[in-house]
Amino acid sequence: MDAEDRHRYKSCNEFYDLENYFNLNLALLCIADTDGYFRRLNPEWERVLGYSLKELENKKFIEFVHPDDIDATLKVLSQISQNIDVQNFKNRYRCKNGSYRWIEWRSTTAKEGLIYAVAIDITEQVQTEQRLQKSEERYRKITSAITDYIYTVYLKNGEVTKTVHGPGCVAVTGYSEEEFEHDSYLWIKIVHPEDRPVVEKLANDLAKGIESNPIEHRIFHKNGGIRWVQNTPVLQYDEKGNLLSYDGLIKDITDRKEAEETIQKEKQFTDLLLESLPGLFYLYKINKESPEESRLIRFNRKHSTLTGYSYEELYGMKIKDWFEPETLKEAIDAIKKVITMGEVQINLDLRVRDGSKIPHTFTGKLLHLNNEMYFFGMGLNISDSVNAQKALKESEEKYRLVVENANDAIFIVQDNLIKFPNRRLIDISGYTVDELTKTPFYNFIHNDDRNMVINMHRKRLQGIEVPSTYAFRVVKKTGEIVWVEISAVIINWEGKPATLNFLRDITMQKKLEEQLIQAQKLEAVGTLAGGIAHNFNNLLMGILGYTSLMLLKTDEHHPFYKKLKIIEKLVESGSELTKKLLGFARKGKYETKPVDINELVIETSEMFISTKKEITLQRNLQENLYFVEADRGQIEQVLINLYLNAWQAMPSGGKLYIETQNILLDENESATYDLSPGKYVKINITDTGVGMDEETLKKIFEPFFTTKGLAEGTGLGLASSYGIIKNHGGTIIVHSKKGHGTTFTIYLPSSNIEALEKHSIVDLKP
């Protein structure tokens, strides 16, 4: 074998040795390229990852790397490609079963585009480290959570020889075992000054062998903070009973103390809050089966001050103790509502110790605690409110009674509509409440007065000064026109301007005013007529005297005899005229005596109707009619005048009704007719003639006023009738409407003589 053969042989042996080393190595051997592909792997990869070499080689190794490690792996690949050696790189590779193994790499820089690397499976090592880390963390947490430790104080002849504090002392005090060992009095030094006497007494008692109970006190932590600890001592003796030492268990109770302090502060705040409440606070434990047995277990001081019960008496009081039987059912229903609905509010009278009852508004809310049901709430004393409401109700009731029973109509006008009309307005207008409140106010006013009232109302609302009261006419539902006087003030009603109105029916007042004016007018005319009549009568008497003398000396065959007779007759007619004028002037001579008006009516009407066949007479005369003190002839003249007036108003015929009646006029009624109160005979004479308009009615009793022609009447008939009746202490009134006939009503005062019993004559026709 020459040298060349020996070299070839040596090279082959080295190759086989290298191949065997590659295949038999327990490490993970890898040849990869810089593009990231596995080029050759040893069989150990199959054991570790579970893939065959065929499944791994010529595959991108990044496909097997754990997603969380890809970025780091690519960074290392980049470094190797730049000929930077990488030592101890770790990443995870996916196994065929889906699990991952931790791999630690060591690689060389790339040569000819290839990377040579050696890796080992460090999964077990990593898992062990993780378990250790978790164990250490757990231990750390446990250690930090431990707030207890034991210390031992060694004694000899009652004196401290040595103090040993356990490992937990650092966590509790901040000081180490060595620091406590170095300074035997360190423990006393860190005790809070306010608590030091108690701790020193404990140490002295223990040194003397005196058993002691645990104490709680404060210490200053090394960091300057204050900690609360519980110190529980135990004495230790030798077999002979000699005191050797005492052990103490130190427990950090800071959290508990702070919690207790917080709870105490919250309790103080809660108590302060409950005591400052304006009413009763209560907490009841609910008895679901018998709500009236529910018991009071928490309450504020106002319970005692309001009800008169002591704290001891209040605690445990039952719902049924607070209420009268008639209101207890409402209280029970309220508790049931709390149970079903979760809350309630109710007004009830609370019975207190002295038996009196105080109205309250109670609230309740349901509370579940430790499988028990409670309700809590507040009770507000509403006595002032109830009394105010009662007073308001009484005031409103009084106001309503005043308004409803007022003589004046009272109502509000807003937006042209009537609001809250009282009964008097209904009486005056004849309309219902519904009709009054749904119809514009101005619709009830007479057409001639409407614009004036609208103007007044508008100006008043605008603040322009207008008369405080004024009169106008209102049309009733029946069509009747009444005079009213209104007084109004501006008010604010429901946030809007309105007027409060007081309205009075002055129709009768208007009529009386008209009658007074008419009476004054007639009185003036009567005075004038009386003066004229006297003078005229004197002239007539002179003419009559001379005429009579001439007739005595003149033969009846004398040519002047007939002319003198005519003068005498005319003078007598003139005398009749002066009598009528004197009658109107109420200056005539009367011979009065008791007169039966029924008898006079029958006589005059029979005589009158006998010549007026076109008139139908109907009489209704009251039995036992009062007598009147009157001049029979004068009253007869009045009746005849009225019959004639009726006949003239019925040119085509008609009906004449005559009625008599006993009347008793009180003060109000008599004042209406300007008469004195007392008994009167009332005479109604009604025709179905043409009637009269308002202008005619105003002048009907004026002397010389007539609706006839110059040759048909003097206009003194009704005027003299008016004067005669007035002179007898009575009055005569006329009611008429154009086209609806006329009624004359006469009132004559009765005589003191008792009336003779007579039968009434009804519908007597001549």
pLDDT in tens, 600-658: 999 989 888 887 888 999 999 999 999 999 888 888 888 988 998 899 889 889 999 99
CATH superfamily for 590-749 is Histidine kinase-like ATPase, C-terminal domain (3.30.565.10)
Q: Is the fold of 3-128 the same as that of 590-749?
A: no
For 66-92, what is the mean pLDDT? 86
For the chain, what are the domain ranges?
A: 3-128, 146-259, 277-386, 406-505, 511-577, 590-749
Confidence of residue 707 (pLDDT cuts 50, 70, 90): low
The one-letter amino acid at 574: G
Residue 761: closest CA among 594, 595, 597: 597
What pLDDT, on a 0 to 100 scale, did the predictor assign at position 265?
Answer: 86
| Cβ atoms of 353 and 308 closer than 8 Å | yes
What pLDDT, on a 0 to 100 scale, did the predictor assign at position 4?
Answer: 52
| Cβ atoms of 38 and 57 closer than 8 Å | yes
**Percent helix, percent strand, percent coil in the chain, to nearest 5:** 45, 30, 30
CATH class of 277-386: alpha beta
Is the confidence at residue 102, as pLDDT, over 90? yes
Q: Is 381 exposed, middle or buried (0-12, 13-18, 19+ CB in 10 A)?
A: middle
CATH architecture of 511-577: Orthogonal Bundle (1.10)
Is the confidence at residue 583, as pLDDT, over 60? no
**3-class secondary structure, 51:** coil
Residues in the chain: 766
> Judging by DSSP bridges, how do beta strands 280-285 and 295-299 pair with one another?
antiparallel
What does the block give as tokens for 443?
């619709």
What residues pair up with 359 in beta bridges, in sequence order?
349
**3-class secondary structure, 203:** helix
Confidence of residue 550 (pLDDT cuts 50, 70, 90): confident
Averaged pLDDT of the chain:
83
Is the confidence at residue 434, as pLDDT, over 60? yes
The Cα–Cα gap between 327 and 746 comes to 70
For 9-19, what is the mean pLDDT? 51
Domain 3-128 adopts which CATH fold?
Beta-Lactamase (3.30.450)
What residues pair up with 617 in beta bridges, in sequence order?
656
| Cβ atoms of 536 and 578 closer than 8 Å | yes
Is the confidence at residue 444, as pLDDT, over 50? yes
| Cβ atoms of 679 and 749 closer than 8 Å | yes
Is the confidence at residue 2, as pLDDT, over 50? yes
Q: CATH number of the domain at 146-259, out of 3.40.50.300, 3.90.1300.10, 3.30.450.20, 3.40.50.10470?
A: 3.30.450.20
Residues of the chain with pLDDT > 90: what percent?
27
What pLDDT, on a 0 to 100 scale, did the predictor assign at position 158?
Answer: 80
For 179-201, what is the mean pLDDT? 90
The Cα–Cα gap between 443 and 416 comes to 10
Count Cα neighbours of 404 within 13 Å in the Cβ-side half-sphere: 7
CATH placement of domain 406-505: 3.30.450.20
pLDDT in tens, 259-312: 888 888 888 887 787 777 788 888 999 998 999 999 998 888 888 888 899 989
Residues of the chain with pLDDT > 70: what percent?
86
pLDDT in tens, 318-367: 989 998 888 899 999 999 999 999 999 989 888 889 989 989 898 989 98
Residue 191: φ, ψ to 5°: -70, 140
pLDDT in tens, 362-399: 898 998 988 899 988 888 888 888 888 888 787 777 77
Rg (CA), the chain: 66
**3-class secondary structure, 89:** strand
Residue 115: φ, ψ to 5°: -120, 130
What does the block give as tokens for 164?
């040993």
